[in-house]
Amino acid sequence: MPLALALGVAAASPEARAEEVVTAVLAVGDAPAGPDRELARLAGALREECRARSSAVLEASALRSRLAGEPPAARLAELDRAAGAAVQAYLSGDYARSARAWRALVSDLESLPEGPEAYEQWTRAVLRLAHAEGTLGRWADARAAMERLLAVEPRFAPDPDDYAPSYRRVFDDARQKLRSRPSRRLAVTSSGRPGAVFVNGKSIGVTPVTVTLPAGRYRVGGTSGGLRAPTAAVDLRTADGRVELDFALSDAVRLDAGPGLALAPSGRPEALRELGARLGVDRVVALAAAAGDGPPALAASLHEVRSGAVLREARVRRPPGADAAPALRALARFLLTGERVEGLEVTAPAAAPAAGHSRAASDPALSAPLRAPAPEPVPLELPPASARAPSAGPVLVALPAASVAAAAAAAATVPPATLPATAPPPSTLPAALAPAPDPPTASDLRAAAPPPVPAAAPAARRSGWLRPAAWISGALALGMAGVASWQGLAAASAYDRANAMVRADGLLAAGADPARYHDALGEGDRARRMAWASAGSSVALAATAGVLGWLSAEPAPAGAR
């Protein structure tokens, strides 16, 4: 089969489309008990039926790991490989690639669940990132990375065996700069139950807790009973802050029951949507015991996490002792593909109508607006008027029958003696029935023509200062170009002196003076800024000279003296 045809068949298949979304299957029972053992077993069997049709359905072990906030082993191994690649890039002299790798690694570590091991790895990655940025001469970025660590570890000091004295001096400078910032208070509380609080990955206590931090931005997370609350971002640059960690939904999680949830029937759709967002899935399938009289039944619903809509909902009867496989197979087939099978009772439409949808919009008989039948035109012949042109014939006007009847009734109320013997004068007729006026003659058009407009006075001669100003601007542009070249050479010389003091591994060479190294970098930065400013001024002056020269070369208007 050709590749294009195979891709077309895969795109048209419902099972292929189901592969594009990640789905979680959970057992849901009434709070506070939650799902019983039998419901948890049935949820596991439904999960396997769904996985037989879509590999994007999460396994039970993956669900438990995500609910407990445990990073998968594959993810940890990937981060270890990324750290090794960043070290190799630095040792090979590719400092820019090393800095990019460390920056991505820090971002990935901040997305992991908080804990001692993750915080230790994050600390090492931040130190390496600052070192790589400093090697590239981007000391502002290096200090920013150092301050992220010093904000929660004000007494931290790099290991002298791993980092040179020059790096440690810059680290101390960042510490002093951070101490000069104003202090802010961060109060952290929790809903549901108490939990451990982490700020930038470091544990600061158990809720409720208040901590004083330097002004800045922070990430706040928490765990309770092996469950993780969503990480929140807080801005303390201008004022104190307060964060409430949500452990209420985590309190409803039952890791050993399916896994499942203990939820009240009223708030299940909202809770399933929030839990799906925490799990990082696109859809959630909830399996519960259906309430009501009669034989036992299972109710399943498919929830879309992004919109919170219930896409499909159905129930199947399951007599005691009967094999549950056919019922679960029917549920899985309907939930993933929308196909209905025998024995399946659909309790909700496959797709909810859009906002503002009504029965009239779906029923053509009701959607058509009510319209009265179009009236038939009635010819009305007006008698010839004295003001009408002789060549004008009778005028036929189409009027609705209702209008003609109303006019006839009005005329019937007027005494015959008052009716005019002839048609009313044209000035009293409606505009639509008035006779057309005679066309204007040539003499009338000449009389109505506007008076001629006098010719505009010739423009005055342009001032004589344009050409000298153009020459002066051009000379200044050349001068600023020379200054830009001079400053560029000075910057290159300063950077060469600084690079001569650094070894291949990014550390200062033996006997090199750190003060002279930083002075050379500062001199190069200043010269580079002056070069860019001079070049910009040169371009602006050259453009000004061109405009002035063009204006001075433009010929004067005709007739100017």
Q: Classify residue 207: in a domain, yes or no.
A: no
pLDDT at 452: 52
Close Cβ partners of 123 (under 8 Å, ≥ 6 residues apart)? 149, 153, 156
* Whether residue 8 has pLDDT greater than 50: no
* CB 491, CB 531: distance < 8 Å: yes
pLDDT at 396: 40
Tally of domains within the chain: 1
Residue 450 CA to residue 42 CA, distance in Å, equals: 94
Residue 185 CA to residue 208 CA, distance in Å, equals: 13
Residue 96 CA to residue 90 CA, distance in Å, equals: 8
Q: Classify residue 289: in a domain, yes or no.
A: no
For residue 486, count other CB atoms closer than 10 A to its CB: 14
* Whether residue 459 has pLDDT greater than 90: no
463: left (phi over 0), alpha (psi -120 to 50) or beta: beta
Residue 150 CA to residue 174 CA, distance in Å, equals: 8
Q: Classify residue 478: in a domain, yes or no.
A: yes
Alpha carbons within 13 angstroms on the beta-carbon side of residue 44 total: 16
Q: Which range (162-176, 200-214, 277-291, 528-542) has the least confidence?
A: 277-291
Mean residue pLDDT across the chain: 74
pLDDT at 234: 92
Which of 176-190, 469-483, 542-556 has maximum average pLDDT?
176-190
Per-residue pLDDT reduced to its tens digit, 54-83: 888 888 888 887 776 666 555 667 788 888
**Average pLDDT estimate for 299-319:** 84
Alpha carbons within 13 angstroms on the beta-carbon side of residue 495 total: 15
* Whether residue 469 has pLDDT greater than 90: no
Alpha-helical runs (H) found in 155-213:
165-179
Q: Which range (255-269, 415-429, 490-504, 543-557) has the least confidence?
A: 415-429
Q: Classify residue 173: in a domain, yes or no.
A: no
Q: Classify residue 367: in a domain, yes or no.
A: no
Higher pLDDT, 297 or 126: 126
- H-helix or E-strand spanning residue 206: strand 202-206
The full DSSP string for 394-424 is --B--B-HHHHHHHHHHHHTS-GGGS-SSPP
Six-digit token string for 245: 């960690």
**Residue length of the chain:** 561
Q: Classify residue 533: in a domain, yes or no.
A: yes
Per-residue pLDDT reduced to its tens digit, 318-328: 666 667 788 88
* CB 530, CB 494: distance < 8 Å: no
Q: Which of 434, 85, 69, 26 is closest to 261 using CA atoms?
A: 26
Instruction: Work out the burial of residue 356: count CB atoms within 10 Å of its CB; fewer than 13 is exposed, 13-18 middle, 19 or more buried.
Output: exposed
SS3 per residue for 289-313: ECCCCCCCEEEEEEEECCCCCEEEE
Query: In terms of DSSP bridges, do strands 283-289 and 23-29 run parallel, antiparallel, or are they unpaired?
Result: parallel
Q: Which pTM value belongs to this model?
A: 0.49
Q: Which of 430, 421, 439, 438 is closest to 383 using CA atoms?
A: 421
Q: Classify residue 536: in a domain, yes or no.
A: yes
Instruction: Show the CA angle centred on residue 552, arms to residues 548 and 555, nearest 5°.
Output: 145
For residue 50, count other CB atoms closer than 10 A to its CB: 25
Domain limits at 527?
466-503+511-553
pLDDT at 525: 86
- Confidence at 511, pLDDT banded by 50, 70, 90: low
pLDDT at 126: 94
Which of 203-212, 262-271, 492-501 has maximum average pLDDT?
203-212
Quickly tell me which residue has 């109710």 as its tokens.
299
Q: How far, in whole angstroms, is CA 104 from its chain's centroid?
A: 21
| C-alpha to C-alpha distances, 345 to 32, 299, 314, 330, 332, nearest whole angstrom | 28, 9, 6, 10, 13
Q: Which of 22, 40, 55, 74 is closest to 253 using CA atoms?
A: 40
* CB 92, CB 128: distance < 8 Å: no
Q: Classify residue 515: in a domain, yes or no.
A: yes
Q: Is the peptide bond before 259 cis (omega within 30 degrees of 0)?
A: yes
Six-digit token string for 158: 């790099």
Six-digit token string for 65: 């790991």
- H-helix or E-strand spanning residue 223: strand 217-224
Residue 267 CA to residue 383 CA, distance in Å, equals: 80
Per-residue pLDDT reduced to its tens digit, 408-443: 444 444 444 444 444 444 444 444 444 445 555 555
- Confidence at 365, pLDDT banded by 50, 70, 90: very low
pLDDT at 439: 54
For residue 122, count other CB atoms closer than 10 A to its CB: 22
Q: Which range (165-169, 221-225, 506-510) has the least confidence?
A: 506-510
Six-digit token string for 141: 């970025």
The full DSSP string for 485-523 is HHHHHHHHHHHHHHHTTB-TTSSBPTT--HHHHHHHHHH
For residue 550, count other CB atoms closer than 10 A to its CB: 11
* CB 83, CB 95: distance < 8 Å: no
SS3 per residue for 531-559: HHHHHHHHHHHHHHHHHHHHHHHCCCCCC
Which SS3 state, helix, strand or coil, does residue 161 take?
coil
For residue 558, count other CB atoms closer than 10 A to its CB: 7
